[in-house]
């Protein structure tokens, strides 16, 4: 992923016919329903407007995986701050009058530091605007929502979170397979491959106890470290892995491998972030004996 | 929760005005857009129709937390099999021609056993119908999707999962607080309080390593066991807990307590399932020493 600013959006990209028709009618209806409530009448121009910030989950990518509430907030927005991972198809749902601001956050390439985003969204809301901070997936899961909620509250700006479909759920759907299976797995662990600089790497191996499905977000660049961590924790290298790149979008890529071949497979398939690395370790799974692990780990 | 069949639905309940208007226009548009593609023309009555099953995530409860894709599938459905936890507001989005079947699953009260559900959805699809199996939350997370996917595939029926907003995400939104916080928690563990009869109880204490947010689904009845498991694992009894009952619905209830007072709080507040029990244990959190634990655990 490049850290260069994205070129200007192709304003309203063409859609597949059926979806296009559905969405055109749907957004026309929504727009008509929402405009009176959300647009201050010109005659009230002197009354100070109260701004508002919504941290909106855009879901995993596909436009029709937005919730109705997310669409409502998007249609009512006057300013929309969006991340690098937001699909242009989703942005095309914004009303023509809304100002779109690319804050360009991508893993390892924060073209806007978090403090600048915090300052920009609060400044916009303090002018009385309805601000949407559009985040891929669910804002509560690795969405850096804490900083933005705190900034809004420091300024006394009403703020809400609109939950979204997280990428792990979209991965289960794309694979046609549940993330938890009765008698096999009793927990889903959602973890990140990417940490704040200076923080210790997450202990992925310890997270994958028998009975677990582990969904790793943004872990492609750490694939080698993840392999080592799992091996050190006694996870057998033949443990099943499924990978979903750019899940639910037109660029979706599915790959399958084992924990012992994760880094090699990602490289061979040319899959980069955003990707979900899904590792299942059913309850009955054996633990590789320490000796076997050492042998496997030897170069 | 009672195991008696629900009374017939109040056919199409009244909605709050703004939401009602929005949804009326929205569903009218969708309906118009979808009907031609989904309703077999009468002249083709002799050609065998191909049935289809969609396992659709209805989200946590609020009707506007459905995705656009879920709404699309619901509007196209001819038969809808739904669980006890589906809000009547969501069912009101079904088209008038759709047959609604309450399969009445509730924790500890399966008025339809899973095998009967499997048989019913496949039988309906084999008549050529578009079948929606509507599940609360996301079908891939504790949704028993595996059995229904397998049943569909055994009969060669096309089947898909439509992902939904899981209740943990709605809980973060309801609390106005992220589920993961940089430098504090690097994983979200979604686990169940309820197991298949005969299965060992999940080891909740082991799941709550420092750096974890643990979201327990359907755990109200096991609150005492959960308290004991956490204490035995060295989780300090003053660890923060947030509880969201019936999250995102009109009956939503929020409560706060500590891991040492979980069962007492649920009882005092009268919160039953469905509820999310959210426990945060930041990275820097201390582990109660074994001696202290034993002391605290003593009656």
Closest to B72 (Cα-Cα) out of B115, B30, B122, B123: B30
For chain B, the average pLDDT equals: 83
Per-residue pLDDT at A230 exceeds 60 = yes
pLDDT for B50: 80
Place B85 in a pLDDT band, splitting at 50, 70 and 90.
confident
CA distance B287 to chain A (A): 17
In this predicted model, what pLDDT tens digit does every residue of A148-179 receive, in sequence order?
999 999 999 999 999 999 999 999 999 999 99
Size of the A and B interface in Cβ pairs below 8 Å: 230
Percent of chain B scored above 90 by pLDDT? 68
Contact A189 B186 (CB under 8 A): no
Contact B141 A60 (CB under 8 A): no
pLDDT for B104: 79
Active site residues of A: 83, 105, 218
Per-residue pLDDT at B41 exceeds 70 = no
The DSSP code sequence of chain B is ---SPPPPP-SS----HHHHHHHHHHHHHHHHHHHHHHS--GGGTTSPPPPEEEEEE-BSS-GGGSBHHHHHHHHH-SEEEE-TTS-HHHHTTS-TTSEEEE--EETTEESS-HHHHHHHHHHHHHTT-EEEEEESB-TTTTS-HHHHHHHHHHTT--EEEE----HHHHHHHHHTS-SS-TTT--EEEEEES---TTSPPP-HHHH--TTEEEEEES-GGGHHHHHHHHHHTT--TT-EEEEEESTTSTT-EEEEEEGGGHHHHHHHHT--SSEEEEEEE-TTPPPPPHHHHHHHH--
Beta bridge partners of B131: B53, B79
Most confident of the ranges B40-49, B126-135, B288-297: B126-135
Q: Is A226 exposed, middle or buried (0-12, 13-18, 19+ CB in 10 A)?
A: buried
Place B162 in a pLDDT band, splitting at 50, 70 and 90.
very high
Report the pLDDT averaged over residues A199-219.
93
- What is the per-residue burial (b if ≥16 Cβ within 10 Å, else e) of B189-215? bbbbbbeeeeeeebbbbebbbebbbbb
Place A285 in a pLDDT band, splitting at 50, 70 and 90.
low
pLDDT for B23: 56
Beta bridge partners of B187: A191, B212
CA distance B69 to chain A (A): 5
Contact B163 A140 (CB under 8 A): no
Place A17 in a pLDDT band, splitting at 50, 70 and 90.
very low
Question: What are the DSSP E strand ranges found in A136-179?
Answer: 159-162
pLDDT for B209: 94
> In three state form, how does the secondary structure of A192-235 look?
ECCCCCCCCCCCHHHHCCCCEEEEEECCHHHHHHHHHHHHHCCC
Least confident of A166-170, A220-224, B192-196, B244-248: B192-196
pLDDT for A112: 86
**Best residue in B15, B19, B20, B22 for a mutation probing chain A (most A CBs within 10 Å):** B22
Report the pLDDT averaged over residues B272-276.
95
The model carries a pTM of 0.83
Report the pLDDT averaged over residues B116-124.
97
Q: Is the peptide bond before A294 cis (omega within 30 degrees of 0)?
A: no
Rounded Cα distance between A10 and A8, Å, is: 6
Per-residue pLDDT at B293 exceeds 50 = no
Contact A140 B68 (CB under 8 A): no
pLDDT for A287: 59
More confident residue, A283 or B18: A283
For chain A, the average pLDDT equals: 83
113-152 of B, contacting A, C-beta below 8 A: 138-147, 149
CA distance B299 to chain A (A): 30
Is residue A193 a contact partner of residue A214, using CB atoms and an 8 Å limit?
no
């Amino acid at each position: 992923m490049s850290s260069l600013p994205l070129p200007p959006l192709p304003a309203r990209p063409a859609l597949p016919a059926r979806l296009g028709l559905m969405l055109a009618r749907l957004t026309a209806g929504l727009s008509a329903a929402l405009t009176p409530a959300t647009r201050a009448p010109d005659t009230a121009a002197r009354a100070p407007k109260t701004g508002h910030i919504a941290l909106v989950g855009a879901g995993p990518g596909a436009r029709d995986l937005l919730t109705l509430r997310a669409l409502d907030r998007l249609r009512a927005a006057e300013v929309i701050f969006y991340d690098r991972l937001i699909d242009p198809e989703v942005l095309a749902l914004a009303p023509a009058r809304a100002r779109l601001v690319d804050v360009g956050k991508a893993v390892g390439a924060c073209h806007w530091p978090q403090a600048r985003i915090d300052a920009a969204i609060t400044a916009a809301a303090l002018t009385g605007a309805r601000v949407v901070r559009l985040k891929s997936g669910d804002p509560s899961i690795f969405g850096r929502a804490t900083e933005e909620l705190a900034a809004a509250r420091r300024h006394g700006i009403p703020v809400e979170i609109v939950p979204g479909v997280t990428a792990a759920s979209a991965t289960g759907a794309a694979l046609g397979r549940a993330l938890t299976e009765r008698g096999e797995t009793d927990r889903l662990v959602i973890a990140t491959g990417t940490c704040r600089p200076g923080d210790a790497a997450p202990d992925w191996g310890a997270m994958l106890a028998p009975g677990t499905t582990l969904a790793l977000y943004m872990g492609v660049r750490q694939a080698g470290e993840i392999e080592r961590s799992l091996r050190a924790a006694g996870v057998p290298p033949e443990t099943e892995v499924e990978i979903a790149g750019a899940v639910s979008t037109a660029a979706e890529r599915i790959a399958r491998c084992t924990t012992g071949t994760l880094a090699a497979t990602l490289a061979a398939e040319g899959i980069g972030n955003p990707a979900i690395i899904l590792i299942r370790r059913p309850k009955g799974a054996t633990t590789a004996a320490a000796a076997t692990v050492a042998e496997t780990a030897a170069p």
